[in-house]
Every structure is written in C-alpha cells, then in structure tokens.
Copies of this chain bind each other. A is one copy, B any other.
Amino acid sequence: MKINPDRFLRDLHKLREFGASGIGKGVIRPAYSEADIAARRWLAGRMADAGLQVHFDPVGNLFGLVEGPSILLGSHVDSQPEGGWLDGALGVIAGLEVARAAKEAGGPPVSVVSFQDEEGRFGVTTGSGVWSGQIDLHAADALTDDTGVTFREARGQMADLAGGVIDPDQFTGYIELHIEQGPSLDGSNDQIGVVSDIVGIRDMRITFSGRQNHAGTTPMHLRADAFQALSLFNARINDRFADVVTPHTVWTIGHVALSPNAASIVPGRAAFSMQWRDGDQDRLNRMEQIIRCTASEVAGLTGASVQFGALHGLEPQTMEPTLREALEAGAEAVSPGRWRILPSGALHDATNVARLMPVAMLFVPSIDGISHAFDEDTRESDLVAGLKVLAHAVTRM
C-alpha cells in the first residue's frame, strides 16, 4: 500500500473550508449545521471517488465501505461551537487516505466512518453512542441542545440522505487517529502517542441550598451562605482526593450558578458541575463517595441542604492488545524513539465503538496542548507521521 501524504493534506485543508471561522484555521461546524451537512456531502463524494460504497445511517453517521470483512478507521467531522480544524477531521481524512491507498493496492480491506455529533451538541458522543447501543435511538431523539432543538429535529435535516443501520459484525476492529488535545506529547517532543486506555468520566450537578438574605443586616453567624458551602466543599474534596488520585486523575468544577447572584445578597443557592475522570472504575467510584460524603458534611456545617443531580458517565476503556501492538510497531517504524504510550484524558467515539469490536487509538501532538479553540494546530510532519503509523498498522494486520 502506498499512501499519498499530499493528497491527504489537500483533503484535510479542503475540509476546513466547510464552516471556516475566518480566524486562523478554526472552524464552526457543529453537528447537523449547514456546514456539517455540506462537509458530509463532500466527504461522501470523496469516498465514492475512492471506490468506497457510501452509506449514511439514520442519525447521519457516514460510512465508506468495502465488501466483506474490513478494518474500520475514522472519527468525526462535526466540531465544537468554536472548534479547531483537526479535532475529529484528522482521523476521518487519514482513514479515507488509508482506505483509498489500500483500494489502489488491492488490499487490505479498509472501511471509513465519520460519526455524527461527537462533540455533544446533544448528550455525549451521540452518533457513535446510538450505533453502539450506548444510547437508545428513541431516548436520543428526546435530547435537546442549548436552544431547545431536539435530536430528532436535528437529524431530520439529513433525512434525505439516511439509510438503514450498518451491521457492525463486518468490521474486525476500529482504529481512531486523533490529536492529543493536551500538552503531554508536545511537552516531551514525541511525535506519536499510542493510547493505553480512555479514561472514564463522571459528571454530576450538585446544588447547595442555603438561605438567601441581605448582605448587610444578616450577621455572619446567622447565615446559610450557599457560596460558602461550595467553597468549603471544594477545599475539602481537594484535600481528600489527595489520598485517592494518581497524577492522571483530573476533576473540575467548571460551571457555577449562584442565585440570585447579586453583590448585596447572601447567596441562597449554588448549583455547580462536578466532573471527574480516571482510567480506573474503582477510583471513579471512590471519588464519587468522597464527593457525596463531603457535600453532605459541608451542608451540615453551613446550615445548607444538598441535592445531587443524576450521575452521567462512561466507563474507562482499555485498548485492545493486538491492535495496540500493531500501532506500537508502526510508531517504532515511523518515529523511532519519538513515541510513547499514554492514556486519553478526553472522551472519543472509540469508547462507544469498544462495545462492538476491538478498538485502539493513536495520538499526534497538539501544539501547546490547545484544542477546542480556533488556534488548535499540529505540525504537518506530525500529521503525516500519524497517517503513516495508521497505514503501517493496517498493513501489518
């Protein structure tokens, strides 16, 4: 198989014209937007040009298929509301180039996929979630985006393209090339990362309810200040997690909504997001226990009450050893001494696809670790290195 790096880079740059932000190489191509659907139509054309059989499934996942059993390569072409040009696009176009080169060489058999709504305009990794049975289609249809549009309405925008569900049994495995989206490879000057596992994620909304009161006339000792509860909770979980976490564990309070959120009023309510990620399911569960115990304890101390929202999450996924070895061999061939094994802190379609077949992932560096932003970028030499490792692994299998 002879891959063509120029053709690969041309397609990758062409794709960023769909929803180009006009700021750097950034794109605005959320799932089911005009730009996203136009990108998928163009991509379907490129698949057809390569001799692949084009198929859209009921939610807009786009497949480029070969006959008989094949390895599946891909990712997604939808972007964050303000996204970078590489994110999921890299894995899709690299998959297309490898499938195309394999077709030209008469084998091995390679199919390609671009999943829909990986970025979670509705829910989390929605397109691969539905395909893998992680989410029931009926339940997904009821999901809404921030403006109240339902998933069912959104996928209706592509109804003219939609065919039936693709049988996953035709695929022998799934490999996803992706940018790292973190600072690790860029910091160590490595060119390739072979993923050991994708961390699991837990997400819960927590609300402290105290007593809203006048900030001038309510003595400190008579207050039940919901912000003070949040601040104390944060300090205590930081302390207590220290006994449980590894250097790879992360946790974040990223969303806070005080009520009524006014300078002269003691906050009566503090609703916030608590998210934590780790590669070990048991550790995720122990962190959940600390969160629940600490929040209840802090509520007692501050005169507030606490409500826990639904716990959302995905389990950690270990990459399949045979596929991973193929990627390691490819990495050593293409970038000798400049690759390493690392976990994925970000969620990917591969997490869902692992329910259906063996999966593996590889990373190329993100310059300064920047992603989900217009200035997301990777050196073209690194992009091509990733493509070569992917081709190498596919050939080896």
What is the interface of chain A, defined by CB distance below 8 A to chain B? 80-82, 119-120, 146, 180-184, 199, 201, 203, 212-222, 225, 227-228, 230-232, 234-235, 238, 247-258, 260-268, 273, 275, 277, 344-347, 369-373
Top 6 A-B pairs, shortest CB-CB distance: A182-B217, A263-B273, A216-B346, A215-B252, A217-B345, A216-B345
Contact B221 A247 (CB under 8 A): yes
Q: State how many angstroms separate the Cβ of A67 from the closest Cβ of chain B.
A: 37
Contact A217 B181 (CB under 8 A): yes
Q: Which residues of B are found within 8 Å of A251, using beta-carbon distances?
A: 220
Q: What would 16 more interface pairs be, CB under 8 Å, given A203-B263, A213-B369, A220-B251?
A: A81-B262, A120-B264, A199-B216, A213-B373, A215-B250, A216-B277, A217-B344, A218-B345, A227-B253, A228-B234, A252-B265, A254-B261, A254-B263, A262-B273, A262-B372, A263-B275
Q: How far is the CA of A241 from the CA of B277 in the complex (A)?
A: 36
Q: State how many angstroms separate the Cβ of A95 from the closest Cβ of chain B.
A: 22
Q: How far is the CA of A109 from the CA of B94 in the complex (A)?
A: 86
Residue in chain B with minimal CB distance to A261: B255
Q: Which residues of B are found within 8 Å of A219, using beta-carbon distances?
A: 182-184, 247-248, 250, 345
Q: How far is the CA of A260 from the CA of B220 in the complex (A)?
A: 31
Residue in chain B with minimal CB distance to A234: B231
Residue in chain B with minimal CB distance to A347: B216
Interface of chain A, main secondary structure: loop
Q: How far is the CA of A325 from the CA of B167 in the complex (A)?
A: 86
* Cross-chain contact of A222 among B183, B266, B268 (Cβ < 8 A): B183
Contact B215 A371 (CB under 8 A): no
Contact B263 A218 (CB under 8 A): no
A-B contacts, 24 listed (Cβ < 8 Å): A80-B260, A81-B262, A82-B212, A182-B214, A201-B216, A213-B369, A213-B370, A214-B372, A215-B275, A217-B369, A219-B247, A220-B247, A220-B249, A228-B234, A228-B238, A231-B234, A231-B235, A252-B263, A255-B262, A255-B263, A257-B261, A264-B275, A265-B372, A268-B373
Q: How far is the CA of A270 from the CA of B201 in the complex (A)?
A: 24
Q: State how many angstroms separate the Cβ of A141 from the closest Cβ of chain B.
A: 20
Q: Which residues of B are found within 8 Å of A180, using beta-carbon distances?
A: 217
Q: How far is the CA of A264 from the CA of B232 in the complex (A)?
A: 21
Q: How far is the CA of A181 from the CA of B264 in the complex (A)?
A: 12
Q: How far is the CA of A15 from the CA of B344 in the complex (A)?
A: 60
Q: State how many angstroms separate the Cβ of A319 from the closest Cβ of chain B.
A: 16
Contact B227 A81 (CB under 8 A): no
Contact A227 B254 (CB under 8 A): yes
Residue in chain B with minimal CB distance to A84: B214
Q: How far is the CA of A181 from the CA of B266 in the complex (A)?
A: 12
Q: State how many angstroms separate the Cβ of A369 from the closest Cβ of chain B.
A: 7
Q: State how many angstroms separate the Cβ of A392 from the closest Cβ of chain B.
A: 25
Q: How far is the CA of A373 from the CA of B146 in the complex (A)?
A: 26
Contact B262 A80 (CB under 8 A): yes
Q: Which of A184, A212, A346 has the most CB of B within 10 A?
A: A212
Q: How far is the CA of A252 from the CA of B218 in the complex (A)?
A: 10
Q: State how many angstroms separate the Cβ of A331 from the closest Cβ of chain B.
A: 20
Residue in chain B with minimal CB distance to A225: B252
Q: State how many angstroms separate the Cβ of A190 from the closest Cβ of chain B.
A: 15
